């Protein structure tokens, strides 16, 4: 597996954005989708956490392969705080040995690209620029970020800050050959109209959406939800390039009990740039490996059923 230079953060001049993204011009819906494993399915704490069921991060690629996955996502909180090129070499070697490839680097929670304070926006940009470099080193196709999770200023004002921050990070991601995907992750971002306005305001070819099946909390205390998650995904579909396929409980037929997967993936046929379906099992009634495998099996089943 070819390793990209983690230390060199110089922009790759002369490359057109259109040539960078792996998500463009998809083929037949069911054959273009690649099912990825999201690490939270197996590793429920950050680096150094005490959960005895966690696996070692460098074992993650081989475990994913043993469950039938050919693509894996990464999560910034699982990497050691003293992350260096040597560790990234080990991860690349582990992925190559297992025969899996990187898909999406999941970032967020370490600064807000849409913060009203320009100094904090600048700090967030520096943090996520670093993780774009890491993602490029691991041959990821995209970096996921969150923006607008907390309701602190009016929607329109927040939108203007977010357009600035996401646009700046999106341009940097393009220089590294990655797409930048913003997730509906509660707050402003769980309002599809706000997210659409963000995408249109940024207007970069490599910036899109990672659609989460369950993150639809508009406001807290008391919790107020976007009323129809299926409609939300449908509205975001033109911009969706990856999804977080959440799962927790399954019935005797292998169906997820709170999310109609067939309905969700049928709606996603309206997402022409959709490629990566990330399995994110967070249940506790069955083993983590079993939950991840059942989610993968369910996605494969519904894709067969709606093929064409």
Count how many residues are written for the chain: 308
pLDDT value of position 140: 98
Helices (H), the chain: 29-32, 60-66, 85-98, 118-137, 155-175, 192-202, 229-236, 261-267, 288-305
Q: Which CATH number do you get for residue 217?
A: 3.20.20.150
pLDDT value of position 148: 84
Domain limits for position 49: 30-305
pLDDT value of position 14: 33
> How far, in Å, CA of 58 to CA of 45, rounded?
15
Q: Which DSSP state fits 31?
A: H
pLDDT value of position 31: 76
The reply to whether 6 falls in a domain is no
The SS3 assignment for 17 reads helix
The SS3 assignment for 146 reads strand
Q: Is the dihedral of CA 214, 218, 221, 224 positive or negative?
A: negative
The reply to whether 24 falls in a domain is no
CA distances (Å), origin 162, targets 149, 167, 236, 238: 11, 8, 17, 20
Q: Which two tokens stand for residue 134?
A: 């890491």
The reply to whether 23 falls in a domain is no
pLDDT value of position 184: 97
The reply to whether 301 falls in a domain is yes
Q: Which region holds residue 143: left if phi is over 0, alpha if psi is between -120 and 50, else beta?
A: beta
First to last CA, the chain: 33
The reply to whether 8 falls in a domain is no
Q: How many folded domains does the chain comprise?
A: 1
pLDDT value of position 150: 83
Q: Is the dihedral of CA 146, 148, 292, 45 positive or negative?
A: positive
Of the candidates 25, 19, 54, 55, the residue with the CA atom closest to the CA atom of residue 273: 25
- Tell the burial category of 139 from Cβ atoms under 10 Å away from its Cβ (0-12, 13-18, 19+): middle
- Tell me the pLDDT of the chain (308 aa) as tens digits: 444 444 344 333 333 333 344 444 444 466 799 999 999 999 999 999 999 999 999 999 999 999 999 999 999 999 999 999 999 999 999 999 999 999 999 999 999 999 999 999 999 999 999 999 999 999 999 999 999 888 889 999 999 999 999 999 999 999 999 999 999 999 999 999 999 999 999 999 999 999 999 999 999 999 999 999 999 999 999 999 999 999 999 999 999 999 999 999 999 999 999 999 999 999 999 999 999 999 999 999 999 999 85
Contact 97, 62 (CB under 8 A): yes
pLDDT value of position 26: 42
The reply to whether 106 falls in a domain is yes
> How far, in Å, CA of 135 to CA of 131, rounded?
6
User: pTM of this prediction?
Assistant: 0.91
pLDDT value of position 7: 39
The reply to whether 2 falls in a domain is no
> How far, in Å, CA of 211 to CA of 274, rounded?
10
> How far, in Å, CA of 282 to CA of 74, rounded?
16
> How far, in Å, CA of 287 to CA of 42, rounded?
9
Q: Is it true that the peptide bond before 222 is cis, omega within 30 degrees of 0?
A: yes
Q: Which two tokens stand for residue 144?
A: 């996921």
The SS3 assignment for 296 reads helix
> Which residue in this structure is represented by tokens 């680097």?
105
pLDDT value of position 307: 84
The reply to whether 164 falls in a domain is yes
């Amino acid at each position: 597996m070819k390793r990209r230079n983690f230390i060199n953060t110089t922009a790759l001049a002369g490359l057109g954005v259109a040539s960078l993204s792996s998500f463009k011009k998809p083929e037949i819906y069911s054959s273009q989708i690649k099912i990825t494993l999201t690490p939270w399915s197996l590793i429920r704490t950050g680096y150094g956490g005490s959960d005895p069921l966690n696996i070692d991060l460098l074992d993650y690629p081989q475990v994913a392969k043993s469950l039938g996955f050919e693509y894996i996502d990464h999560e910034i909180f699982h990497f050691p705080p003293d992350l260096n090129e040597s560790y990234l070499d080990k991860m690349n070697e582990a992925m190559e040995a297992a025969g899996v490839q990187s898909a999406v680097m999941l970032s967020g929670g370490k600064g807000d690209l849409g913060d009203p304070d320009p100094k904090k926006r600048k700090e967030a940009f520096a943090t996520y620029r670093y993780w774009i470099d890491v993602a490029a080193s691991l041959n990821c196709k995209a970096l996921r970020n969150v923006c607008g999770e907390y309701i602190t200023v009016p929607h329109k004002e927040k939108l203007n800050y977010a357009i600035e921050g996401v646009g700046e990070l999106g341009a940097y991601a393009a220089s590294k050959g990655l797409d930048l995907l913003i997730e509906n992750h509660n707050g402003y971002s769980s309002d599809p109209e706000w997210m659409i306005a963000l995408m249109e305001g940024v207007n970069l070819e490599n910036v899109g959406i990672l659609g989460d099946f369950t993150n639809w909390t508009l406001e807290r205390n008391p919790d107020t939800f976007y009323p129809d998650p299926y409609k939300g995904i449908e509205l975001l579909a033109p911009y969706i390039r990856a999804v977080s396929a959440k799962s927790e409980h399954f019935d005797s037929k292998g169906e997820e009990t709170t999310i109609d997967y067939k309905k969700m993936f049928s709606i996603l046929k309206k997402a022409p740039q959709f490629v990566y379906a990330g399995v994110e099992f967070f249940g506790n009634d069955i083993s983590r490996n079993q939950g991840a495998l059942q989610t993968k099996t369910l996605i494969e089943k519904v894709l067969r059923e709606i093929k064409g």
